[in-house]
Amino acid sequence: MRNQTAPVVKILVFILLAGFGWSGCRSTYYAAWESLGKEKRHLLRDEVENAREDQARASEEFKDALTRIRELTGFQGGELENVYLQLKDDYEDCERRAAIIDDRIGNVEQIAADLFAEWETEIGQMSDASFRASSRQSLARTRGRYQQLHRAMVQARGRMDPVLSRLNDYVLYLKHNLNAQAVGALGSEMGRIEADVDVLIRDIERSIQAADTFLKDFEA
C-alpha cells in the first residue's frame, strides 16, 4: 500500500510547490521539499545549477543577437524587414533570459540566506565544543565561496543591461527606418556593441566558472 501511495504523495507535493513558490510561506515550501528528501543545501545546489545553465543560454542568445547585427550591417539586398524581425526576436530572447536570471539569482539569495541562518541556529544547539568549532569553520568556508559566486553572478547580470539597452535602441530605430541609411548608422555602432558583448561574455564565463567551483566544493 505504501508503494502505491508514494507517487500520489509526490504529485500532491509538486502541486503544492507550484502553487506556493516564493510567494507563499517559505517554511511550508521547505517542508514540502523535505518530505521528498530535499534539504535546503540540495535546493541551493539545484538553483545554482539552474542559474549556471541559464547564464550559458544567455551567452549564446547575446552572441546570436550580435551575429544578427553583423548580418544586418553587411546587408546586400533582399527583404530588410525580415532581418529586422529576426533581430527583434533575438532581442526579446535576451530580455526574457535576463528576467529568468533575475529570478534565479533571487532564489539563490533567498535559499542561501535561509540555509546559513538554519546552519547558525543548529550549530548553537550542539553540545560538543569540537563539533561546534568544526561546523563554524565549514559554514565560514561555504559562505566565502558563496559570496564569490554571488558577486560573479550579479556582475554578469549587470553587464546585460547596457547591451539590452543598446539592442533595444537598434530595434526601435530600425522599426521606423528600414533603409540603407539606417543600416549604415548601425554599422558605425558595431565597435561599441561588439565591445559590450565581449565584456558580457567574459563575465558570464567567469560566473559559470564560479558556479562550477562552488558546486564542486559544496557538499550536498
62 plus 110 within the same structural domain: yes
52 plus 156 within the same structural domain: yes
Enumerate helices (H) and strands (E) in the chain, giving the number of each.
6, 0
- Which residues form the domain of 32? 1-38
Alpha carbon dihedral 137, 141, 143, 148, in 10-degree steps, equals 160
96 plus 123 within the same structural domain: yes
148 plus 172 within the same structural domain: yes
Only one residue has cell 533581430, namely: 87
77 plus 23 within the same structural domain: no
**Inter-axis angle of helices 129-175 and 40-73, to 10 degrees?**
20
Instruction: Give the total number of structural domains in the chain.
Output: 2
pLDDT in tens, the chain (220 residues): 445 555 544 555 555 544 445 545 788 888 888 888 899 999 999 999 999 999 999 999 999 999 988 887 776 656 778 888 999 999 999 999 999 999 999 999 999 999 999 999 999 999 999 999 999 999 999 999 999 999 999 999 999 999 999 999 989 988 888 777 777 777 777 888 999 999 999 999 999 999 999 999 886 4
Sign of CA dihedral 170, 174, 177, 181: positive
27 plus 117 within the same structural domain: no
Cβ-Cβ contacts under 8 Å for 122 (sequence gap 6 or more): 135
16 plus 102 within the same structural domain: no
Stated pTM of the model: 0.84
91 plus 183 within the same structural domain: yes
52 plus 15 within the same structural domain: no
Calpha distance 119→104 (Å, rounded): 22
